[in-house]
Chain A
Protein backbone atom coordinates (compact mmCIF):
# COMPACT_ATOMS: atom_id res chain seq x y z
CA UNK A 1 0.00 0.00 0.00
CA UNK A 2 1.16 3.50 -0.75
CA UNK A 3 2.14 5.70 2.10
CA UNK A 4 1.97 9.05 0.37
CA UNK A 5 -0.42 9.73 -2.49
CA UNK A 6 -0.35 12.94 -4.49
CA UNK A 7 -3.26 13.42 -6.88
CA UNK A 8 -3.44 16.07 -9.60
CA UNK A 9 -1.49 18.47 -7.46
CA UNK A 10 -0.80 21.82 -9.08
CA UNK A 11 0.32 25.25 -8.02
CA UNK A 12 -0.13 28.52 -9.86
CA UNK A 13 1.38 31.65 -8.33
CA UNK A 14 -0.55 34.83 -9.12
CA UNK A 15 1.37 37.33 -11.22
CA UNK A 16 3.41 39.89 -9.34
CA UNK A 17 2.69 43.56 -10.13
CA UNK A 18 0.06 42.64 -12.68
CA UNK A 19 2.42 40.29 -14.52
CA UNK A 20 1.41 36.89 -15.86
CA UNK A 21 0.63 34.12 -13.40
CA UNK A 22 3.41 31.54 -12.95
CA UNK A 23 2.55 27.88 -13.16
CA UNK A 24 5.10 26.35 -10.83
CA UNK A 25 3.69 22.85 -10.96
CA UNK A 26 1.41 21.28 -13.55
CA UNK A 27 -1.14 18.79 -12.24
CA UNK A 28 1.04 15.99 -10.92
CA UNK A 29 0.19 12.60 -9.52
CA UNK A 30 2.57 10.46 -7.58
CA UNK A 31 2.48 7.63 -5.12
CA UNK A 32 5.27 6.76 -2.75
CA UNK A 33 5.56 3.40 -1.02
CA UNK A 34 6.48 2.85 2.59
CA UNK A 35 10.24 3.11 3.20
CA UNK A 36 10.95 4.37 -0.31
CA UNK A 37 13.86 6.72 -0.76
CA UNK A 38 12.70 8.95 -3.57
CA UNK A 39 14.89 11.64 -5.08
CA UNK A 40 13.35 14.43 -7.13
CA UNK A 41 15.70 15.72 -9.79
CA UNK A 42 15.08 18.74 -11.99
CA UNK A 43 16.46 21.99 -13.32
CA UNK A 44 16.27 25.16 -11.28
CA UNK A 45 12.83 26.73 -11.07
CA UNK A 46 10.92 23.61 -12.13
CA UNK A 47 8.83 23.50 -8.98
CA UNK A 48 10.70 20.99 -6.82
CA UNK A 49 10.57 23.14 -3.71
CA UNK A 50 6.96 24.03 -4.43
CA UNK A 51 6.03 20.33 -4.56
CA UNK A 52 7.87 19.57 -1.34
CA UNK A 53 6.45 22.60 0.47
CA UNK A 54 2.92 21.58 -0.41
CA UNK A 55 3.54 18.09 0.93
CA UNK A 56 4.93 19.68 4.09
CA UNK A 57 1.75 21.75 4.30
CA UNK A 58 3.66 25.04 4.12
CA UNK A 59 2.08 26.02 0.81
CA UNK A 60 -1.50 25.61 -0.42
CA UNK A 61 -2.08 23.71 -3.68
CA UNK A 62 -4.09 25.41 -6.42
CA UNK A 63 -5.71 22.06 -7.13
CA UNK A 64 -5.34 18.45 -6.12
CA UNK A 65 -4.92 16.55 -2.88
CA UNK A 66 -2.17 14.96 -0.82
CA UNK A 67 -2.89 11.95 1.36
CA UNK A 68 -0.52 10.55 3.96
CA UNK A 69 -1.38 7.23 5.61
CA UNK A 70 -4.95 7.67 4.40
CA UNK A 71 -5.37 11.15 5.89
CA UNK A 72 -5.67 14.28 3.80
CA UNK A 73 -3.03 16.91 4.39
CA UNK A 74 -4.33 20.40 5.13
CA UNK A 75 -1.43 22.03 6.93
CA UNK A 76 1.98 21.43 8.43
CA UNK A 77 2.42 18.82 11.13
CA UNK A 78 5.03 16.76 12.94
CA UNK A 79 4.28 13.69 10.79
CA UNK A 80 6.25 15.34 7.97
CA UNK A 81 9.73 16.37 9.00
CA UNK A 82 11.46 18.88 6.77
CA UNK A 83 15.08 19.83 6.22
CA UNK A 84 15.49 23.09 4.32
CA UNK A 85 18.21 24.20 1.96
CA UNK A 86 18.86 27.28 4.07
CA UNK A 87 20.15 26.77 7.58
CA UNK A 88 17.09 26.85 9.80
CA UNK A 89 18.40 25.84 13.21
CA UNK A 90 17.07 28.07 15.97
CA UNK A 91 20.03 30.32 16.77
CA UNK A 92 19.05 30.87 20.42
CA UNK A 93 18.99 27.14 21.20
CA UNK A 94 21.96 24.84 21.62
CA UNK A 95 22.38 21.82 19.36
CA UNK A 96 20.72 19.57 21.97
CA UNK A 97 17.85 21.98 22.48
CA UNK A 98 17.35 22.27 18.74
CA UNK A 99 17.04 18.51 18.38
CA UNK A 100 14.67 18.41 21.35
CA UNK A 101 12.41 21.15 19.94
CA UNK A 102 9.78 18.82 18.46
CA UNK A 103 9.88 16.49 21.45
CA UNK A 104 9.11 19.36 23.82
CA UNK A 105 6.28 20.32 21.50
CA UNK A 106 4.84 16.83 21.90
CA UNK A 107 4.95 17.26 25.66
CA UNK A 108 7.47 14.47 26.15
CA UNK A 109 9.06 14.46 29.59
CA UNK A 110 12.60 15.86 29.61
CA UNK A 111 14.29 12.65 30.75
CA UNK A 112 12.88 10.64 27.87
CA UNK A 113 13.64 13.45 25.42
CA UNK A 114 17.22 13.59 26.64
CA UNK A 115 17.81 9.94 25.73
CA UNK A 116 16.41 10.41 22.24
CA UNK A 117 18.46 13.57 21.71
CA UNK A 118 21.62 11.81 22.87
CA UNK A 119 20.96 8.91 20.49
CA UNK A 120 20.59 11.27 17.52
CA UNK A 121 23.58 13.38 18.49
CA UNK A 122 25.55 10.16 18.36
CA UNK A 123 24.02 9.00 15.08
CA UNK A 124 24.87 12.21 13.23
CA UNK A 125 28.32 12.38 14.77
CA UNK A 126 27.97 15.53 16.84
CA UNK A 127 29.20 14.22 20.18
CA UNK A 128 30.95 17.02 22.05
CA UNK A 129 28.89 19.74 20.36
CA UNK A 130 25.71 19.31 22.40
CA UNK A 131 26.04 22.69 24.08
CA UNK A 132 27.29 24.67 21.11
CA UNK A 133 25.12 27.24 19.41
CA UNK A 134 24.37 26.77 15.69
CA UNK A 135 26.58 29.73 14.75
CA UNK A 136 29.56 27.88 16.18
CA UNK A 137 29.10 24.96 13.78
CA UNK A 138 30.07 24.49 10.14
CA UNK A 139 27.39 24.28 7.47
CA UNK A 140 27.66 20.50 7.25
CA UNK A 141 27.29 20.14 11.01
CA UNK A 142 24.27 22.44 11.00
CA UNK A 143 22.55 20.36 8.34
CA UNK A 144 23.32 17.18 10.27
CA UNK A 145 21.68 18.78 13.28
CA UNK A 146 18.69 19.74 11.14
CA UNK A 147 18.37 16.13 9.98
CA UNK A 148 18.59 14.91 13.58
CA UNK A 149 16.01 17.49 14.65
CA UNK A 150 13.58 16.28 11.99
CA UNK A 151 14.23 12.57 12.68
CA UNK A 152 13.97 12.88 16.47
CA UNK A 153 10.29 13.66 15.94
CA UNK A 154 9.91 10.25 14.26
CA UNK A 155 7.98 11.60 11.26
CA UNK A 156 6.14 9.32 8.83
CA UNK A 157 7.88 11.07 5.94
CA UNK A 158 11.15 12.95 5.85
CA UNK A 159 11.28 15.77 3.32
CA UNK A 160 14.64 17.21 2.32
CA UNK A 161 14.99 20.21 0.01
CA UNK A 162 18.53 20.27 -1.36
CA UNK A 163 19.90 19.90 2.16
CA UNK A 164 23.49 19.54 0.97
CA UNK A 165 23.29 22.13 -1.79
CA UNK A 166 25.59 24.61 -0.07
CA UNK A 167 28.25 22.08 0.93
CA UNK A 168 31.52 21.26 -0.81
CA UNK A 169 31.81 17.97 -2.72
CA UNK A 170 33.70 15.98 -0.09
CA UNK A 171 31.40 17.01 2.74
CA UNK A 172 28.40 16.39 0.55
CA UNK A 173 29.57 12.83 -0.21
CA UNK A 174 30.05 12.11 3.50
CA UNK A 175 26.61 13.52 4.28
CA UNK A 176 25.03 11.29 1.64
CA UNK A 177 26.60 8.22 3.23
CA UNK A 178 25.49 9.35 6.67
CA UNK A 179 21.89 9.89 5.56
CA UNK A 180 21.89 6.60 3.70
CA UNK A 181 23.21 4.82 6.79
CA UNK A 182 20.44 6.26 8.91
CA UNK A 183 17.82 5.34 6.33
CA UNK A 184 19.10 1.77 5.99
CA UNK A 185 18.93 1.36 9.74
CA UNK A 186 15.67 3.14 10.53
CA UNK A 187 13.69 2.54 7.36
CA UNK A 188 11.93 5.79 6.71
CA UNK A 189 10.00 7.15 3.78
CA UNK A 190 12.13 9.91 2.32
CA UNK A 191 11.61 12.54 -0.38
CA UNK A 192 14.83 14.21 -1.32
CA UNK A 193 15.05 17.15 -3.73
CA UNK A 194 18.32 17.72 -5.53
CA UNK A 195 19.75 18.96 -8.80
CA UNK A 196 22.86 16.80 -8.50
CA UNK A 197 22.57 13.71 -10.70
CA UNK A 198 25.10 11.56 -8.82
CA UNK A 199 23.44 12.38 -5.54
CA UNK A 200 20.03 11.55 -6.98
CA UNK A 201 21.23 8.06 -7.97
CA UNK A 202 23.52 7.21 -5.09
CA UNK A 203 21.03 7.58 -2.27
CA UNK A 204 17.76 6.72 -3.99
CA UNK A 205 15.66 3.65 -4.47
CA UNK A 206 13.66 5.62 -7.01
CA UNK A 207 14.32 8.82 -8.90
CA UNK A 208 11.76 11.21 -10.34
CA UNK A 209 12.91 13.57 -13.08
CA UNK A 210 10.98 16.78 -13.47
CA UNK A 211 10.59 18.83 -16.62
CA UNK A 212 11.53 22.47 -16.92
CA UNK A 213 8.96 25.04 -15.82
CA UNK A 214 6.04 24.52 -15.75
CA UNK A 215 7.10 21.47 -13.81
CA UNK A 216 5.75 17.97 -14.12
CA UNK A 217 7.23 14.53 -13.58
CA UNK A 218 8.62 13.37 -16.91
CA UNK A 219 10.42 10.20 -15.85
CA UNK A 220 10.16 7.76 -12.96
CA UNK A 221 13.23 5.58 -12.73
CA UNK A 222 13.80 2.75 -10.28
CA UNK A 223 17.35 2.64 -8.93
CA UNK A 224 17.92 -1.06 -8.47
CA UNK A 225 21.36 -0.90 -6.93
CA UNK A 226 21.96 -3.11 -3.91
CA UNK A 227 22.04 -1.78 -0.34
CA UNK A 228 24.05 -1.18 1.74
CA UNK A 229 25.76 1.17 -0.67
CA UNK A 230 29.38 2.11 -0.54
CA UNK A 231 30.93 5.15 -2.17
CA UNK A 232 32.84 2.89 -4.59
CA UNK A 233 29.46 2.25 -6.17
CA UNK A 234 29.84 5.60 -7.90
CA UNK A 235 32.49 4.11 -10.22
CA UNK A 236 30.55 0.94 -11.09
CA UNK A 237 29.21 0.39 -14.65
CA UNK A 238 25.57 0.17 -13.46
CA UNK A 239 25.94 3.53 -11.79
CA UNK A 240 27.51 5.01 -14.91
CA UNK A 241 24.75 3.81 -17.20
CA UNK A 242 22.07 5.23 -14.86
CA UNK A 243 23.99 8.44 -14.73
CA UNK A 244 24.21 8.59 -18.52
CA UNK A 245 20.47 8.05 -18.79
CA UNK A 246 19.56 10.68 -16.22
CA UNK A 247 22.04 13.14 -17.69
CA UNK A 248 20.28 12.76 -21.03
CA UNK A 249 16.86 13.28 -19.46
CA UNK A 250 17.89 16.32 -17.45
CA UNK A 251 19.96 17.92 -20.20
CA UNK A 252 16.99 18.31 -22.47
CA UNK A 253 15.16 20.06 -19.65
CA UNK A 254 18.07 22.26 -18.71
CA UNK A 255 18.31 23.42 -22.33
CA UNK A 256 14.59 24.20 -22.27
CA UNK A 257 14.87 26.01 -18.96
CA UNK A 258 17.76 28.11 -20.20
CA UNK A 259 15.77 29.09 -23.29
CA UNK A 260 12.96 30.53 -21.18
Chain B
Protein backbone atom coordinates (compact mmCIF):
# COMPACT_ATOMS: atom_id res chain seq x y z
CA UNK B 1 0.00 0.00 0.00
CA UNK B 2 1.36 3.40 -1.02
CA UNK B 3 -0.37 6.79 -0.97
CA UNK B 4 -2.59 7.45 -4.01
CA UNK B 5 -1.55 4.24 -5.74
CA UNK B 6 -4.54 2.94 -7.75
CA UNK B 7 -5.86 -0.59 -7.33
CA UNK B 8 -7.28 -2.96 -9.93
CA UNK B 9 -11.01 -3.20 -10.57
CA UNK B 10 -11.43 -6.81 -9.28
CA UNK B 11 -9.49 -5.97 -6.12
CA UNK B 12 -11.70 -2.94 -5.55
CA UNK B 13 -14.85 -5.03 -5.94
CA UNK B 14 -13.55 -7.79 -3.74
CA UNK B 15 -12.56 -5.41 -0.95
CA UNK B 16 -15.86 -3.53 -1.17
CA UNK B 17 -17.89 -6.73 -0.85
CA UNK B 18 -15.76 -8.10 1.94
CA UNK B 19 -16.62 -5.28 4.30
CA UNK B 20 -20.31 -6.07 3.85
CA UNK B 21 -19.49 -9.67 4.72
CA UNK B 22 -17.57 -8.61 7.82
CA UNK B 23 -20.41 -6.33 8.84
CA UNK B 24 -23.09 -8.99 8.52
CA UNK B 25 -20.90 -11.57 10.20
CA UNK B 26 -20.41 -9.21 13.15
CA UNK B 27 -24.12 -8.58 13.36
CA UNK B 28 -24.93 -12.27 13.19
CA UNK B 29 -22.38 -13.05 15.88
CA UNK B 30 -23.73 -10.36 18.20
CA UNK B 31 -27.36 -11.41 17.83
CA UNK B 32 -27.30 -15.15 17.17
CA UNK B 33 -24.50 -15.55 19.68
CA UNK B 34 -26.81 -14.09 22.29
CA UNK B 35 -24.72 -11.05 23.16
CA UNK B 36 -27.56 -8.65 22.35
CA UNK B 37 -31.17 -9.31 23.42
CA UNK B 38 -33.66 -9.92 20.62
CA UNK B 39 -35.90 -7.07 21.78
CA UNK B 40 -33.26 -4.53 20.90
CA UNK B 41 -31.81 -5.98 17.76
CA UNK B 42 -33.18 -8.73 15.55
CA UNK B 43 -30.76 -11.20 14.04
CA UNK B 44 -30.17 -11.30 10.27
CA UNK B 45 -32.31 -14.39 9.75
CA UNK B 46 -35.33 -12.88 11.51
CA UNK B 47 -34.79 -9.71 9.53
CA UNK B 48 -34.91 -11.59 6.22
CA UNK B 49 -38.01 -13.54 7.30
CA UNK B 50 -39.74 -10.34 8.44
CA UNK B 51 -38.82 -8.65 5.23
CA UNK B 52 -40.16 -11.48 3.15
CA UNK B 53 -43.45 -11.42 5.06
CA UNK B 54 -43.68 -7.66 4.62
CA UNK B 55 -43.21 -7.95 0.89
CA UNK B 56 -45.49 -10.92 0.29
CA UNK B 57 -48.30 -10.44 2.85
CA UNK B 58 -48.40 -6.73 3.67
CA UNK B 59 -47.77 -5.13 0.28
CA UNK B 60 -44.54 -3.46 1.35
CA UNK B 61 -43.62 -3.14 -2.36
CA UNK B 62 -46.24 -0.43 -2.67
CA UNK B 63 -44.76 1.42 0.31
CA UNK B 64 -41.36 1.33 -1.35
CA UNK B 65 -42.83 2.63 -4.60
CA UNK B 66 -44.59 5.49 -2.81
CA UNK B 67 -41.45 6.52 -0.99
CA UNK B 68 -39.40 6.45 -4.18
CA UNK B 69 -42.01 8.54 -5.93
CA UNK B 70 -41.94 11.14 -3.15
CA UNK B 71 -38.16 11.41 -3.15
CA UNK B 72 -37.89 11.59 -6.93
CA UNK B 73 -40.84 14.00 -7.25
CA UNK B 74 -39.62 16.45 -4.63
CA UNK B 75 -36.06 16.17 -5.85
CA UNK B 76 -36.94 16.80 -9.50
CA UNK B 77 -38.93 19.89 -8.50
CA UNK B 78 -35.92 21.13 -6.54
CA UNK B 79 -33.58 20.48 -9.48
CA UNK B 80 -35.84 22.38 -11.89
CA UNK B 81 -35.68 25.44 -9.66
CA UNK B 82 -32.20 25.16 -8.21
CA UNK B 83 -29.95 24.27 -11.14
CA UNK B 84 -30.87 27.23 -13.38
CA UNK B 85 -30.77 29.59 -10.42
CA UNK B 86 -27.42 28.24 -9.28
CA UNK B 87 -25.97 28.65 -12.78
CA UNK B 88 -27.23 32.23 -12.98
CA UNK B 89 -25.81 33.01 -9.56
CA UNK B 90 -22.45 31.52 -10.46
CA UNK B 91 -22.32 33.38 -13.74
CA UNK B 92 -23.66 36.78 -12.72
CA UNK B 93 -22.30 38.30 -9.54
CA UNK B 94 -25.18 40.77 -8.92
CA UNK B 95 -27.66 37.87 -9.00
CA UNK B 96 -25.41 36.01 -6.61
CA UNK B 97 -25.18 39.02 -4.29
CA UNK B 98 -28.99 39.22 -4.29
CA UNK B 99 -29.76 35.57 -3.46
CA UNK B 100 -26.69 34.21 -1.79
CA UNK B 101 -27.17 35.56 1.76
CA UNK B 102 -30.75 34.34 1.91
CA UNK B 103 -29.99 30.94 0.42
CA UNK B 104 -27.07 30.49 2.82
CA UNK B 105 -29.42 31.22 5.68
CA UNK B 106 -32.22 29.04 4.38
CA UNK B 107 -29.82 26.16 3.89
CA UNK B 108 -29.46 25.80 7.63
CA UNK B 109 -33.20 25.62 8.28
CA UNK B 110 -33.74 21.94 9.05
CA UNK B 111 -36.22 20.47 6.58
CA UNK B 112 -37.53 18.06 9.18
CA UNK B 113 -38.50 20.91 11.52
CA UNK B 114 -40.78 22.21 8.78
CA UNK B 115 -42.86 19.04 8.81
CA UNK B 116 -45.42 20.29 11.37
CA UNK B 117 -45.76 23.62 9.58
CA UNK B 118 -46.11 21.98 6.20
CA UNK B 119 -48.80 19.68 7.58
CA UNK B 120 -50.63 22.80 8.69
CA UNK B 121 -50.26 24.41 5.28
CA UNK B 122 -50.54 21.50 2.92
CA UNK B 123 -52.31 18.84 4.95
CA UNK B 124 -51.21 15.24 5.21
CA UNK B 125 -51.26 14.54 1.50
CA UNK B 126 -48.52 14.08 -1.04
CA UNK B 127 -47.92 17.83 -1.47
CA UNK B 128 -46.59 18.05 2.05
CA UNK B 129 -44.20 15.13 1.51
CA UNK B 130 -42.91 16.58 -1.76
CA UNK B 131 -42.44 19.97 -0.12
CA UNK B 132 -40.27 18.52 2.62
CA UNK B 133 -37.95 16.98 0.04
CA UNK B 134 -38.06 20.14 -2.02
CA UNK B 135 -37.14 22.41 0.90
CA UNK B 136 -34.44 20.05 2.04
CA UNK B 137 -32.76 19.89 -1.37
CA UNK B 138 -33.33 23.16 -3.16
CA UNK B 139 -31.06 25.48 -1.16
CA UNK B 140 -28.24 22.99 -1.02
CA UNK B 141 -28.27 22.52 -4.79
CA UNK B 142 -28.46 26.26 -5.49
CA UNK B 143 -25.44 27.04 -3.35
CA UNK B 144 -23.26 24.19 -4.52
CA UNK B 145 -24.02 24.78 -8.20
CA UNK B 146 -23.33 28.51 -7.81
CA UNK B 147 -19.95 27.82 -6.23
CA UNK B 148 -18.94 25.33 -8.92
CA UNK B 149 -20.01 27.59 -11.79
CA UNK B 150 -18.40 30.62 -10.14
CA UNK B 151 -15.07 28.80 -10.01
CA UNK B 152 -14.93 28.08 -13.73
CA UNK B 153 -11.42 28.54 -15.11
CA UNK B 154 -11.16 32.16 -16.19
CA UNK B 155 -8.77 31.43 -19.02
CA UNK B 156 -11.35 29.19 -20.71
CA UNK B 157 -13.92 31.96 -20.51
CA UNK B 158 -11.39 34.40 -21.93
CA UNK B 159 -10.53 32.00 -24.73
CA UNK B 160 -14.22 31.84 -25.65
CA UNK B 161 -14.43 35.63 -25.75
CA UNK B 162 -11.46 35.86 -28.12
CA UNK B 163 -13.21 33.31 -30.34
CA UNK B 164 -16.21 35.58 -30.67
CA UNK B 165 -18.52 34.41 -27.87
CA UNK B 166 -20.91 36.91 -26.32
CA UNK B 167 -21.95 36.88 -22.67
CA UNK B 168 -24.89 34.52 -23.09
CA UNK B 169 -22.88 32.27 -25.32
CA UNK B 170 -20.19 32.01 -22.64
CA UNK B 171 -22.83 30.78 -20.21
CA UNK B 172 -24.35 28.35 -22.67
CA UNK B 173 -21.24 27.07 -24.41
CA UNK B 174 -18.61 27.25 -21.66
CA UNK B 175 -19.99 27.55 -18.13
CA UNK B 176 -22.69 24.91 -18.51
CA UNK B 177 -20.85 22.16 -20.41
CA UNK B 178 -17.66 22.70 -18.42
CA UNK B 179 -19.47 22.25 -15.09
CA UNK B 180 -22.11 19.73 -16.10
CA UNK B 181 -20.26 16.73 -14.61
CA UNK B 182 -19.71 18.60 -11.36
CA UNK B 183 -23.38 19.56 -11.25
CA UNK B 184 -24.39 15.95 -11.84
CA UNK B 185 -22.14 14.99 -8.95
CA UNK B 186 -23.85 17.55 -6.71
CA UNK B 187 -27.24 16.13 -7.64
CA UNK B 188 -26.05 12.63 -6.77
CA UNK B 189 -24.93 13.84 -3.37
CA UNK B 190 -28.09 15.80 -2.57
CA UNK B 191 -30.33 12.96 -3.73
CA UNK B 192 -28.70 10.92 -0.98
CA UNK B 193 -29.69 13.54 1.58
CA UNK B 194 -33.24 13.71 0.19
CA UNK B 195 -33.70 10.10 1.32
CA UNK B 196 -33.14 11.07 4.92
CA UNK B 197 -35.79 13.81 4.71
CA UNK B 198 -38.44 11.58 3.21
CA UNK B 199 -38.27 9.13 6.06
CA UNK B 200 -38.70 11.95 8.57
CA UNK B 201 -41.68 13.23 6.59
CA UNK B 202 -43.21 9.76 6.63
CA UNK B 203 -42.69 9.21 10.33
CA UNK B 204 -45.34 11.82 11.08
CA UNK B 205 -48.89 11.67 9.81
CA UNK B 206 -48.42 9.25 6.98
CA UNK B 207 -50.43 6.22 5.94
CA UNK B 208 -47.95 4.68 3.53
CA UNK B 209 -44.27 4.56 2.73
CA UNK B 210 -41.15 3.05 4.23
CA UNK B 211 -41.09 5.55 7.10
CA UNK B 212 -44.69 4.74 7.97
CA UNK B 213 -43.89 1.05 8.09
CA UNK B 214 -40.94 1.74 10.39
CA UNK B 215 -43.05 3.74 12.84
CA UNK B 216 -45.74 0.99 12.81
CA UNK B 217 -43.10 -1.65 13.47
CA UNK B 218 -41.79 0.30 16.41
CA UNK B 219 -45.20 0.01 18.10
CA UNK B 220 -44.99 -3.76 17.57
CA UNK B 221 -41.36 -3.93 18.73
CA UNK B 222 -40.61 -5.60 15.38
CA UNK B 223 -36.95 -4.66 15.12
CA UNK B 224 -36.50 -7.10 12.25
CA UNK B 225 -38.95 -5.11 10.14
CA UNK B 226 -37.36 -1.80 11.10
CA UNK B 227 -33.94 -3.02 10.09
CA UNK B 228 -35.33 -4.46 6.89
CA UNK B 229 -36.82 -1.05 6.07
CA UNK B 230 -33.54 0.67 6.76
CA UNK B 231 -31.64 -1.81 4.63
CA UNK B 232 -34.12 -1.36 1.77
CA UNK B 233 -33.39 2.38 1.86
CA UNK B 234 -29.68 1.67 1.80
CA UNK B 235 -30.02 -0.67 -1.15
CA UNK B 236 -32.13 1.83 -3.10
CA UNK B 237 -29.54 4.49 -2.34
CA UNK B 238 -26.76 2.24 -3.55
CA UNK B 239 -28.63 1.43 -6.75
CA UNK B 240 -29.48 5.05 -7.52
CA UNK B 241 -25.89 6.04 -6.83
CA UNK B 242 -24.69 3.41 -9.23
CA UNK B 243 -27.16 4.50 -11.91
CA UNK B 244 -26.10 8.12 -11.48
CA UNK B 245 -22.46 7.21 -11.92
CA UNK B 246 -23.25 5.09 -14.95
CA UNK B 247 -25.22 7.88 -16.60
CA UNK B 248 -22.51 10.43 -15.79
CA UNK B 249 -19.89 8.23 -17.37
CA UNK B 250 -22.04 7.95 -20.49
CA UNK B 251 -22.85 11.66 -20.65
CA UNK B 252 -19.37 12.98 -19.94
CA UNK B 253 -16.84 10.73 -21.61
CA UNK B 254 -14.30 13.56 -21.68
CA UNK B 255 -13.93 13.34 -17.92
CA UNK B 256 -12.51 9.84 -18.21
CA UNK B 257 -10.37 10.54 -21.26
A interface residue numbers (CB < 8 A to B): 56-58, 75-78, 80-82, 84, 86, 88, 90-93, 101-102, 105-106, 132-133, 135-136, 149-150, 153, 159
Supposing A76-B161, A90-B174 touch, asked if A84 and B257 sit within 8 A by C-beta, the answer is no
Contact B178 A102 (CB under 8 A): no
Q: Which of B48-56, B137-145, B152-160 contacts A (4 or more CB under 8 A)?
A: B152-160
Closest to B176 in A: A92
Contacts of B257 in A (CB 8 A): 132-133, 135-136
Q: Shortest Cβ distance from A16 into chain B, in angstroms?
A: 17
Contacts of B161 in A (CB 8 A): 57-58, 75-76
> Out of B160, B163, B169, B178, which one reaches A92, CB within 8 Å?
B178
Q: Is the CB of B162 within 8 A of A76?
A: yes
A81: B residues at CB distance < 8 A: 162-163
User: Sorted from nearest, which 6 A-B pairs have the closest CB atoms?
Assistant: A78-B164, A102-B163, A76-B161, A133-B257, A82-B162, A88-B159
Tell whether B26 is near chain A: CB-to-CB under 8 Å.
no
CA distance A195 to B165 in the complex (A): 30
B177 interfacial contact with A, CB 8 Å = yes
Interface-central residue, B155, B180, B253, by most chain A CB under 10 Å: B155
Task: Enumerate chain B residues within 8 angstroms of A136, measured Cβ to Cβ.
Answer: 257
Given known pairs A91-B254, A92-B252, A133-B257, the reply for A102 and B164 (CB within 8 Å) is yes
What are 25 A-B contacts defined by CB distance under 8 Å? A56-B158, A57-B161, A58-B158, A58-B161, A75-B161, A76-B158, A76-B162, A77-B164, A78-B164, A82-B159, A84-B155, A84-B159, A88-B158, A90-B160, A90-B178, A92-B178, A92-B252, A92-B254, A93-B254, A105-B163, A105-B169, A133-B254, A133-B257, A136-B257, A150-B162
Contact of A78 among B162, B178, B180, B253 (CB under 8 A): B162
* Cβ of A142 to closest chain B Cβ, rounded Å: 12
Number of residue pairs A-B, CB distance < 8 angstroms = 69
B257 → A minimal CB distance (Å): 4
Contact of B177 among A56, A88, A92, A105 (CB under 8 A): A92
Contacts A58-B158, A90-B156 given: A149-B254 contact, CB under 8 Å? no
Encoded as 1 (CB less than 8 Å from any A CB) or 0, chain B from 158 to 186 comes to: 11111111000100011001101000000
Give the bracket for the number of chain B residues in contact with chain A.
Answer: 20 to 34
Q: How close is B173's CB to chain A, nearest CB, in angstroms?
A: 8
Residue in chain A with minimal CB distance to B153: A88
- Please, which residue of chain A has its CB at the minimum distance from the CB of B174? A90
How far is A88 from B159 in the complex, measured between Cα atoms in Å? 7
**Centre residue among B162, B173, B178, B254 by max chain A CB count within 10 A:** B162
Measured in the bound complex, the distance between the Cα atoms of B177 and A159 in whole Å is 26
Give the distance in Å from the alpha carbon of A153 to the alpha carbon of B169 in the complex: 16
Residue with the greatest number of chain B CB neighbours at <10 A, chosen from A75, A102, A132: A102
Which positions 89-147 of chain B face chain A at CB distance < 8 Å? Answer: none
- Contacts beyond the supplied A90-B178, A102-B163: 12 A-B pairs with Cβ under 8 Å: A77-B164, A82-B158, A88-B155, A90-B156, A90-B160, A91-B254, A92-B252, A93-B254, A105-B173, A136-B257, A150-B163, A159-B162
| Contact between A149 and B156, CB atoms less than 8 A apart | no
B155 touches A86 (CB 8 A): yes
Contact B160–A101 (Cβ < 8 Å): yes
Give complex CA distance A106, B164 in Å. 7
Partner among B162, B163, B180, B253 whose Cβ is within 8 Å of the Cβ of A58? B162
Residues of A within 8 A of B160 (CB): 90, 101
Q: Which of B162, B173, B178, B254 contacts A56 (CB 8 A)?
A: B162
Restricting to B165-218, which residues have a CB under 8 Å from any CB of A? 165, 169, 173-174, 177-178, 180
Question: Would you call B158 and A105 a contact (CB within 8 A)?
Answer: no
CB distance from B174 to the nearest CB of A (A): 7
CB-nearest residue of chain A to B253: A133
Chain A residues with CB under 8 A of B156: 88, 90
Q: Which residues of B contact A77 (CB under 8 A)?
A: 162, 164
Which residue of the partner chain A has the closest CB to B162?
A82
Nearest B residue to A53, CB-CB:
B158
Q: Is the CB of B164 within 8 A of A153?
A: yes
B149 → A minimal CB distance (Å): 14
For A88, list chain B residues within 8 Å (CB).
155-156, 158-159
CB distance from B248 to the nearest CB of A (A): 13
CB distance from A164 to the nearest CB of B (A): 17
Give CA–CA (A149, B163) in the complex, Å.
8
Closest to A76 in B: B161
- Which residues of A lie under 8 Å from residue B155 when comparing CB positions? 84, 86, 88
Q: How far is the CA of A90 from the CA of B152 in the complex (A)?
A: 12
- Specify which chain B residues have a CB less than 8 angstroms from the CB of A90 in the assembled complex: 156, 159-160, 174, 177-178
